[in-house]
Amino acid sequence: MSDRTRQAQPPPGETGMALADVDTPALMIDLDAFERNLARMADTLKDRPVRLRAHSKTHKSPLIGAKQVALGAVGVCCQKVSEAEIMVAGGVSNVLVSNEVIGARKLERLAALAGDAEWLGLCIDSDEGLAQASAAASGAGTALHALVEIDIGAGRCGVAPGEPALRLARAIADAPGLVFAGLQAYHGSAQHIRDHDGRRQAIDAAIKMTRQTVGLLERNGLTCAIVGGAGTGTFEMEAASGVYTELQAGSYIFMDADYARNRAKGGGPFDSFEHALFVYATVMSVPGEGTAVVDAGHKALSVDSGMPEPFAMAGVTYQGPSDEHGVLKTGGSNKPPALGDKILLIPGHCDPTVNLHDWYICVRGMGTPQAHVEDIWPVTARGAYF
Amino acid sequence: MSDRTRQAQPPPGETGMALADVDTPALMIDLDAFERNLARMADTLKDRPVRLRAHSKTHKSPLIGAKQVALGAVGVCCQKVSEAEIMVAGGVSNVLVSNEVIGARKLERLAALAGDAEWLGLCIDSDEGLAQASAAASGAGTALHALVEIDIGAGRCGVAPGEPALRLARAIADAPGLVFAGLQAYHGSAQHIRDHDGRRQAIDAAIKMTRQTVGLLERNGLTCAIVGGAGTGTFEMEAASGVYTELQAGSYIFMDADYARNRAKGGGPFDSFEHALFVYATVMSVPGEGTAVVDAGHKALSVDSGMPEPFAMAGVTYQGPSDEHGVLKTGGSNKPPALGDKILLIPGHCDPTVNLHDWYICVRGMGTPQAHVEDIWPVTARGAYF
């Protein structure tokens, strides 16, 4: 096998097809809800001193990235160099790799990409990472914008706020091929704290550490053009902070079941955005009363953040996924699904669910008798990991 | 977007490359261990009245399926029609879809495929499924072999053993386009019962129900040419039963971390097979003592059956995956991994992990200084869900 190319699978539907004719399992966008989500985020951030840098790891699609930019986003985040290559090739050319990049092969590709992009950045949290990025950019004769990642509570990557960040920022500013661009200050785990006060408390602490670090750097002559972070669960807090300049929310376009388990201020539903992403599935077995088995399991849905939720099916829960099966418990329903019925599942976690599929089946008029496939979009960066 | 084709991502390595030069994350086969696993299963079943019908949902590769057939397997199982199409196109043409197939579009494809295959079968557990399969085969002028699936304790699909199975078997035998071929009797959940006695108990019960049903059918003039089931966790029990004729083990070729958590008879390690599948990952951040972050998270590894295990790294555990990160806790190690180190992770669950990747990087001489990429195989049926 010397051939380094192969085809992805064909899509499970055709443009123009009625919703009910789409084969299953299928990854589906409710275009009406999706467009409302895009507009709602743009409206929320209009006339505020902070812009969206939408996280494309959610959608892996330059086509969707371009829609976000058209509505005011400064550009996108990626998590991987290969994703950044796909975004730039697809016309979205202001790209931050919101992650550390280690290894000569990856950094050479990133440095080369900087020659094609309007703006290209990465995050750095080590001297070794700095040296590697500097060498690659110098070698390519390009410039890489570099943010110092600080750990403000997430416990993943990043140096400590304050002096360690200052030391690294200075080294970046002095390094050939690198441009010091600011701070990466993302609190991932805070996004999924269920109650609003808990999220508020975590983000208040994060904002405080970030503000102090920005101040320390400024007093030392290092201006943070970008202070980036935030996700769908907390972006309004970072937006109001006066410190953050770029918000990295991604899931707001699709709104998964996990985010819907968050509570808003006062305890009400966290419903700023609508569910716009579904996995369409068929009931393939009804082995007995109270149980139905659908054809969507681990290979069609990611359950890392909890089970998917059957959409608009009161009294029905999804349990016990295996590779290609999901068991529905239907005992609480007065209209349990029948063999052959097609149902919509809201993924527990949209990002890794999207990454399982090669295509988006884009439906217009979901929930109406006219529901049909308006378009089919590739999940262009599916499998782009390195 | 009317184009229904797109390329998968390129592989993260090249044939001939030294192991250490492969980019990460990469799905990797230790060819030596893999070939020993293939041979060990073939040896175990040699001269026994039962044959392997290897489950291809593990590998999604007709190239691997053909190796299994060359070593004595009667053919393969698939879980989906699209997988069966890929196996037959790849030269593996004795294929059982070990699953119910519901929906005219899927069944028309399956019935058409029967014209190209040496032998093609599916499972049926409902009158409606029977009627749909019969109509499709009759329409195509082909024959589909049909197994009645019975639920012998797994609690997923299948009719009850005994009379309900007899009723459905009779209906299949009478249906145009269908050939009654026997029983599907797979106990999925028993595979992962940790202690040997627990697995023994579950499979003894399953064998008893299966034997009674086979007897009932035979007394009614219905011969079960195939009695299929078993997985890597229990196949020696079904092999010795005198009832099963085909074993559907899949994971034995790769042996994941979940199966390694099983105990053998007497409580010792369940080590009939070796770990032969890995995700190769790079340490991209060392944020503090006792912690290292690798570039393989939910999008490179499936954690539905538990976390991956760092290979040959005593005192190091993998925790807290996010989309593209895995946090290693290294405090128990006297040689913790350093920034830039590449490590091997044993996936928690091999089937959905394989399904995340487009390519196998096949390494010869793993564990030696000569370790290198001998071949690159496509995960041909990745994303083949419908």
- DSSP for A13-59? S-TT-BGGGS-SSEEEEEHHHHHHHHHHHHHHHTTSS-EEEEETTTT
How far apart (Å, rounded) are the C-alpha atoms in residues B286 and A149?
A: 12
Using the predicted structure, report yes or no on whether residue A63 has a pLDDT greater than 50.
yes
Which residue from A11, A128, A340 is facing B340, i.e. has the nearest CB?
A: A128
Task: Please name the residue of chain B whose CA is at the shortest distance from the CA of residue A21.
Answer: B105
Give the whole-angstrom CA distance, residue B110 versus residue A23.
14
Question: Looking at this protein, which amino acid is placed at residue A258?
Answer: D
Distance of residue A287 Cα from the nearest chain B Cα, in angstroms: 6
What count of residues does chain B have? 386
A127 near B CB under 8 A: no
Contact B381, B56 (CB under 8 A): yes
Tell me: pLDDT of B2 over 50.
no
Flag if A5 and B8 touch (Cβ within 8 Å).
Answer: yes
Would you say residue A1 has pLDDT above 50?
Answer: no
Query: Can you read off the two tokens belonging to residue A121?
Result: 């950045």
d(CA B306, CA B347): 9
How many other CB atoms are there within 10 angstroms of residue B369's CB atom?
Answer: 9
Q: Does A100 touch chain B (CB under 8 A)?
A: yes
Residue B337 per-residue DSSP state: P
Q: Between residues 335 and 374 of chain B, which touch chain A (CB distance below 8 Å)?
A: 339-340, 349, 351-352, 355-358
Of B23, B323, B327, Cβ closest to residue A57: B323
Burial of B71 (0-12, 13-18, 19+ CB in 10 A): middle
Residues of A in contact with B281 (CB under 8 A): none
Distance from CA of A194 to the nearest CA of B (A): 18
Polymer length of chain A: 386
Cα–Cα distance for residue pair B112/B108, rounded to 1 Å: 6
Residues 6+ positions from A275 with CB-CB distance below 8 Å? A30, A33, A254, A255, A256, A257, A260, A311, A346
Q: Coil, strand, or helix at residue A86?
A: helix
On whether any CB of chain A is under 8 Å from the CB of B4, the answer is yes
Given a contact cutoff of 8 angstroms between Cβ atoms, the answer to whether A150 and A161 are in contact is: yes
SS3 string, B58-82, reads CCCCHHHHHHHHHCCCCEEEECCHH
What integer best gives the mean pLDDT of chain A?
96
Residue A346: partners with Cβ closer than 8 Å, 6 or more residues away: A256, A257, A260, A275, A277, A278, A308, A309, A310, A311
Q: Do A103 and B159 touch (CB under 8 A)?
A: no
User: Phi and psi (nearest 5°) for A288?
Assistant: 180, 175
8 Å CB contact between B81 and B121:
no
Distance separating alpha carbons of residues A297 and A326, to the nearest angstrom: 5
pLDDT at A4 (0 to 100): 75
The mean pLDDT value for A47-64 works out to: 97
Q: Which of B14, B25, B80 sits opposite A324 (nearest CB)?
A: B80
Output the pLDDT for position A2. 46
User: What share of chain A in percent tops pLDDT 90?
Assistant: 96
CA dist B188 and B98 (Å) reads: 12
Q: Which CATH number fits domain A31-267: 3.40.50.720, 2.40.50.140, 3.30.420.40, 3.20.20.10?
A: 3.20.20.10
Chain B environment of A156 (Cβ under 8 Å): 285, 287, 293, 320, 322, 325, 327
Answer whether residue A100 shows pLDDT above 90: yes
Using left for φ > 0, alpha for ψ between -120 and 50, and beta otherwise, residue A363 falls in beta
Q: Does A24 touch chain B (CB under 8 A)?
A: yes
Q: B102 contacts in A (CB within 8 Å)?
A: 282-285, 295, 339-340
**Cα separation values, B343 from A127, A288, B309, B333, Å:** 21, 47, 11, 14
Nearest of B68, B66, B137, B71 to residue B101 by alpha carbon: B137
Considering only CB atoms, which chain A residues are within 8 Å of B23?
A: 103, 105-106, 386
Question: Helix, strand, or coil here: A375?
Answer: strand
- State the DSSP string of A324-341: S-EEEE-TT-SSPPPTT-
Chain B residue numbers with beta carbons less than 8 Å from the beta carbon of A322 are: 156, 188
Average pLDDT (B354-378) is 97
Q: Can you give the pLDDT at residue A5?
A: 79
Q: Is it true that the peptide bond before B25 is cis, omega within 30 degrees of 0?
A: yes
Do B7 and A7 make contact, defined as CB atoms within 8 angstroms? yes
- Quick check: B26 and A156 CB within 8 A? no
Provide the pLDDT for residue B8.
Answer: 87
Of the pLDDT bands very low, low, confident and very high (cuts 50, 70, 90), residue B304 is very high
> pLDDT digit string (tens) for B148-195?
999 999 999 999 999 999 999 999 999 999 999 999 999 999 999 999
DSSP 8-state class, residue B332 = T
Distance CA B355, CA B130 (A): 30
Mean pLDDT of A283-308: 97
More confident call, A1 vs B113:
B113
Res. A350: pLDDT tops 80: yes
Tokens of residue A308, six digits: 């998917």
Banded model confidence at residue B4, pLDDT cuts 50, 70, 90: confident
* Candidate from A1, A106, A340 with C-beta closest to B23: A106
Q: Where in chain A is the domain with CATH 3.20.20.10?
A: 31-267
A85 vs B5, more confident:
A85
Mutual angle of helices A127-140 and A104-114, in 10-degree steps:
50
Q: Check CB contact under 8 Å for A285 and B158.
A: yes
Confidence band of B3 (pLDDT split at 50, 70, 90): low
Within 13 Å, how many C-alpha atoms sit on residue B259's CB side?
Answer: 28
With a cut of 60, say whether residue A14 has pLDDT above it.
Answer: yes
- Inter-chain touch B285–A355, beta carbons under 8 Å: no
Is B310 an interface residue toward A (CB < 8 Å)? no
pLDDT digits (tens, 9 = 90+) for A127-175: 999 999 999 999 999 999 999 999 999 999 999 999 999 999 999 999 9
Q: Where in chain B is the domain with CATH 3.20.20.10?
A: 32-255
Q: Do B323 and A79 touch (CB under 8 A)?
A: yes
Query: Which sign, positive or negative, has the C-alpha torsion B124, B127, B133, B134?
Result: positive
Q: What angle do CA A110, A116, A118 make, to 5 degrees?
A: 100
Give A189-227 pLDDT, tens digit per residue.
999 999 999 999 999 999 999 999 999 999 999 999 999
CATH number of B32-255: 3.20.20.10
pLDDT of B247-275, one tens digit each? 999 999 999 999 999 999 999 999 889 99
Calculate how close chain B gets to A47, using CA atoms only, in Å: 32
DSSP reduced 3-state for B366: coil
The domain A19-27+272-378 is placed in CATH, from the list 2.40.37.20, 3.40.109.10, 3.40.50.720, 3.20.20.100, at: 2.40.37.20
Query: Of all residues in chain B, what percent carry a pLDDT higher than 70?
Result: 99
State the Cα–Cα distance between residues A25 and A12, nearest whole angstrom.
8
The interface residues of chain A toward chain B in range 236-275, judged by CB-CB distance below 8 A, are none
Reply yes or no on whether the pLDDT at B1 is more than 50.
Answer: no
Cβ contact B251:B231 at 8 Å:
yes
Cross-strand bridge partners of residue A29: A277, A362
Within chain B, which residue ranges are assigned CATH 2.40.37.20?
A: 19-27+272-378
Whole-model pTM: value is: 0.97
**B347, B15 Cβ separation under 8 angstroms:** no
Window 187-216 of A: residues touching B by CB (8 A cutoff) are 188
Determine what percent of chain B is predicted with pLDDT higher than 90: 96
For residue A25, whether the previous peptide bond is cis, meaning omega lies within 30 degrees of 0, is: yes
pLDDT digits (tens, 9 = 90+) for B11-54: 999 999 999 999 999 999 999 999 999 999 999 999 999 999 99
Q: How far apart are CA A80 and CA A121, in angstroms?
A: 11
The answer to whether the Cβ–Cβ distance between A103 and B11 falls below 8 Å is no
Are the beta carbons of A25 and B105 separated by less than 8 Å? no
What does the pLDDT look like over A23-41, one tens digit per residue? 999 999 999 999 999 999 9
- Contact criterion met (CB < 8 Å) for A105 and B24: no
Distance CA B166, CA B185 (A): 14
Residue of B nearest to A126 (CA): B285
Min distance A92 CA to chain B CA atoms (Å): 18
Q: What pLDDT does residue A3 have?
A: 64
